Amino acid sequence: MAGFGVRSTGSPQHRRLIDWLERMVDRLPGVSVRSEGFTIQRWRPGPGLLLGPGAVPVASAIPYSAPGLRSGELVRLPAGVPITADNARGKVVLRDFPAVDRGYFAEPLLHQDMVDAGNAGAAGVVVAFPFPHEQVKGYWDPHLGTHYRVPGVFVGSDAAVELQVGTRTTIGVLAARDRATTRSLIATLPGTSSERVVLDTNTDGVGWVQENGTVGLLALAEYFAELPLRCRTRTIEFVFATGHLHRAAEGSEFRARALDAEYDSGSVAYAFVLEHLGTREFLPVDGRLRPTGAGEFSAWFAGSPALAGAALTALTARGVDRTFVLAGNDPPVPDRAPPQCSFGGIGTHFHSHLVPTMAMISGPWTLWAPAFGARAVDHDRMRRQVLAAGDAVLALGTVPREQIAGPYPALRQARASGAATCSHDLPPEEVR
């Protein structure tokens, strides 16, 4: 998977990966494959450029930032100081990367800075990491798919010291925007009943971590396709979804909407999402990200007692440590259906649509930092996680749909009666 390079949504590399996945699942016995297509305003990534008194190495362009060259005085705005027309118009804004426990927590702050800079008429945004260039080269976040109005770049800590506040600085992003199509793959493996289990991940990604769920899902498809039909009590649908790096076309959300509409007919048992498998823990030490020797903490979200029980049993049997079985990732809101919306990643789409859901996910520092390569993944741990996922599916094969559902039917009734629900809005392609 990683050999395809950066698989930005709708890029040639992403298309080649999808074509390869299609060939791999299409050859499996009994499997049928179809596609769901989407048209997007694609961002075609290229290098960033930063010129002060001299050239400054750029780790990467901030995704979806505006192509082109702009110049202005370099100003540093500390964390917590809003970017406004008064302090940023016509200037290149230097920000420190937000002080967060893991990199993915910074996305809403980075996104807001890019939006604010565009609204303020800034010339551009430079975000300086506390880690060296070699570790953040190719960093990719935000991944909302919202096209910004200004160019933006990331720089490492060793490059940031070359910047001189108060000097005229030129910032550039050599990227392109155009219309393109992308597609999700849906591979269906019949069981002894038409009731379905839906296994989901995304295909667009930037390294060995994001998104290696494609490999886990492919391994599960190969395993279940080789089982005798009698061992598959339910039909299994494998969804290789597009659009997670361009969330205006989030394929998992559109699949979740379809399952939501079908669920009350009895055709769906549950959904199961796999993301960011086998990750190693890297933590900041003396200005660098260093491996701790442990696996990254991970979560296995489960929306009902039956799903949580299957998760706990599978994790214990396969010796998967540092993993929490959780009912949600956000504070519960009473009288909302469901009380907790977030399952940490794309599992959120299915759970918040009130389809019984499990989701495996981790969020290491290496998630959006592809420079760590294969070192970011413990492949033995990844294998044990995928085996645990397969164990859970097998164990749930004899559990009635009504037992798997747990609280979901009551939540669906509450929603139908007017209870508050989770938001299903997707990010816009253009800043509003």
pLDDT per residue as tens digits for the range 198-226: 999 999 999 999 999 999 999 999 999 99
Sequential DSSP letters for 7-74? B-TTSHHHHHHHHHHHHHHHTSTT-EEEEEEEEEEEEE---EEEESSSB---SEEPTTPPPEEEEEEE
Is residue 201 classed as helix, strand or coil in its secondary structure?
A: strand
HSE-CB of 100 using CA atoms within 13 angstroms: 16
Check residue 265 and give its pLDDT: 97
Task: Give the Cα separation of 346 and 392 in Å (integer).
Answer: 19
* Residue 429 Cα to chain centre, angstroms: 17
Q: Is the confidence at residue 105, as pLDDT, over 90?
A: yes
Tell whether the torsion through CA atoms of 173, 175, 179 and 183 is positive or negative. Answer: negative
* Assessment of whether the complete model's pTM goes beyond 0.95: yes
pLDDT per residue as tens digits for the range 329-376: 999 999 999 999 999 999 999 999 999 999 999 999 999 999 999 999
Mean pLDDT to the nearest integer, 58-71: 98
Check residue 39 and give its pLDDT: 97
pLDDT per residue as tens digits for the range 288-331: 999 999 999 999 999 999 999 999 999 999 999 999 999 999 99
CA 107 to each of CA 102, 139, 159, 368, 379: distance values in angstroms, whole numbers, following the listed order: 10, 12, 22, 11, 27
Domains with residue ranges and CATH for the chain? 2-42+180-421 (3.40.630.10), 46-174 (3.50.30.30)
Check residue 432 and give its pLDDT: 84
Mean pLDDT to the nearest integer, 21-39: 97
What is the pLDDT confidence band of residue 53, given thresholds at 50, 70 and 90?
A: confident
pLDDT per residue as tens digits for the range 373-394: 999 999 999 999 999 999 999 9
pLDDT-above-70 percentage for the chain: 100
Check residue 165 and give its pLDDT: 97
pLDDT per residue as tens digits for the range 110-134: 999 999 999 999 999 999 999 999 9
Q: Is the confidence at residue 31, as pLDDT, over 90?
A: yes
Q: Is the confidence at residue 285, as pLDDT, over 90?
A: yes
